[in-house]
A and B are shown apart, each in its own frame.
Chain A
């Protein structure tokens, strides 16, 4: 079982969700986050004083899936989230030691 975490621009959320569903993903969790990488922030002025806007709003999408779906999911995210400019984001893939469905108590692949 793998977890795919994608940090993307907020406005591509719908496109990424649709692309993931198309490859067979049924569930996901999203969080609103802020961050930066190579995309630089910018400087603004408030009442005459400058301040740096360094942490930029992004959306984090977390998906847990069976191993064989992971690569397809990563491709789907990259295709739907890319704009070609700095700040497109990153995808992290990690291996999970266990998954549990709370309603039934199922564990492992059956719970994904």
Chain B
């Protein structure tokens, strides 16, 4: 650097330093001399929610301005009675205070529902990384793209009609302030009882549901639906045609998922097995072991059956051939991201930040994840002498899937037990699906989500301890499982599990068969052998790296 430049920089630095000192002096001295003017009280806190929504811009007629507030480093005097807007500061009424309490309670719940919903949205990244890490490099861009795009496609389908079919008749969600417009459910009368089948309000989130509570509910339910939608992309990876995938994305978000979700969460018939037939509280699924994961896993099963195994996956006599994933660190990172997102998935399903059961739910979730990972690791070490990173990841996810239904209803030791069983079950299931059923599932989606989704709702039927859930699905009393005395709850869980499997498998198998006839689900053999990245999505995941063929495996 030339001398002239050095001198200029030095002067600049000196000038900046001088300026900072001057500004600092001014700031500290001015605070001592002029107290900052008091801000006029805002109206948001005080506007009663019962009245028509008033724009929060016009300040209410201000009472006498409160004494100016000095700096408060601990918060001891921030947030006081003066922050509650009342007509006459000298004569506050109980109703005004109650209005504020009610407003704040619902606000907390809405914030909670939204923020946990954002966490679940981030799970899309987790799924993308897991699936891409477990597939081969030549298909990485395509696998990533499917997981990326299913987010948008699923959301659009859900906005068009999925949400309406699922939640159109759920009624008033109290924790979100009432959601009054969701009160239209198509019901059939069977066996002398109402069988709710699907909702009919809320299409396109139109003007009839333009409600803050409904919008929060939509966001939250949407990200759950997208979790289901992204599961089959793993089981069908490395050979799924892009156009077939796009059609699938709309179908599962518009019909398959919303229908079953309506029956369990939308006030439909599975949730009313208790009210209608005395079977406990009906089929109970707190955060979606069956609604989300089993639906995804069974759809994955149907898709994998129809699309067939990858070329070279099975030898002529049916022995499975190992096709190792190309990026294990990516897959395990994705697993951690999923585990993190699950802190939104399970505790968020209270739809209420003021329901302190969220502490139990979150901790149970965490415990089951660790137990699942560890149990799977032990099984692999016992069988093969070394831990298998992909199975450790599957184990953690299996524990999370399995705890998703019972998380709000079980003790911590039960959560660990559920996780341990899940970790063992997922390993057994992977071998069963691959070696016995001869189905090719590159990432273990069927075993993680299908098998353990079923285990989750069954586990609830066994281990729910009766400490929570009073009034669930309209049935008085807390949710209790078989080991705590309620055999009927267990039966309701079994009915729900069986219904899920049959409904989803049949629907998705027929769907994929029909789609195969119309546009075909699978890429050609040449495309599959070369890799789907260029032929299907026109972009190589790793164009600059020389890809050397695997050590005698794959192509």
Query: Distance (Å) between the CB of B317 and the closest chain A CB?
Result: 14
- B552 interface neighbour in A47, A48, A49, A53, Cβ under 8 Å: A53
What band does the interface of chain A fall in when counting residues whose beta carbon is under 8 Å from B?
Answer: 10 to 19
Asked if A52 and B384 make an inter-chain contact with CB atoms under 8 angstroms apart, the answer reads: no
Q: Known: A45-B322, A48-B431. Is A34-B551 also a contact (CB below 8 A)?
A: yes
B319-338 to A contact mask, C-beta < 8 Å, 1/0: 11111100000000000000
Q: Check A68 for interface membership: any CB of B closer than 8 A.
A: no
How many angstroms from the CA of A1 to the CA of B546 in the assembled complex? Answer: 30
> For the complex, what is the distance from the CA of A52 to the CA of B321, rounded to whole Å?
11
Closest to A31 in B: B546
Is the beta-carbon distance between A45 and B552 smaller than 8 angstroms?
no
B contacts with A, residue count (CB < 8 A): 24
> Do B324 and A51 have beta carbons less than 8 Å apart?
yes
Q: Which of B322, B435, B546, B548 has a CB less than 8 Å from the CB of A50?
A: B322
Determine whether the beta carbon of B551 is less than 8 Å from that of A52: yes
Question: Which among B390, B431, B434, B551 is the interface contact of A54 at CB below 8 angstroms?
Answer: B551
- Asked, given contacts A47-B388, A48-B384, A50-B322, whether A41 binds B551 with beta carbons under 8 Å apart, the answer is yes
User: Which residue on B lies nearest to A52, using beta carbons?
Assistant: B552
| CB-CB under 8 A for A55 and B384, given A46-B322, A48-B431 | no
Contact (Cβ within 8 A) A32 B548? yes
- Tell me how far the C-beta of B544 lies from the nearest C-beta in chain A, rounded to whole angstroms: 14
User: Given A52-B551, A53-B552, A47 and B321 touching (CB < 8 A)?
Assistant: no
A46 / chain B contacts, CB cutoff of 8 Å: 322-324, 388, 390
A51 to chain B, nearest CB (A): 4
29 A/B residue pairs, CB under 8 Å, sorted by A: A32-B546, A34-B548, A41-B552, A45-B322, A45-B384, A45-B386, A45-B388, A46-B322, A46-B324, A46-B388, A46-B390, A47-B388, A47-B390, A47-B391, A47-B444, A48-B320, A48-B383, A48-B434, A49-B320, A49-B321, A51-B322, A51-B324, A51-B552, A52-B551, A52-B552, A52-B553, A53-B551, A53-B552, A55-B549
Given A32-B548, A48-B435; 15 other pairs, CB 8 A cutoff: A34-B551, A41-B552, A45-B386, A45-B388, A46-B322, A46-B388, A47-B430, A47-B444, A48-B384, A49-B319, A50-B322, A51-B322, A51-B552, A52-B552, A53-B551
List of 10 A-B pairs having minimum Cβ-Cβ separation, nearest first: A51-B322, A46-B322, A49-B322, A53-B551, A54-B552, A46-B324, A55-B551, A45-B384, A49-B320, A51-B553
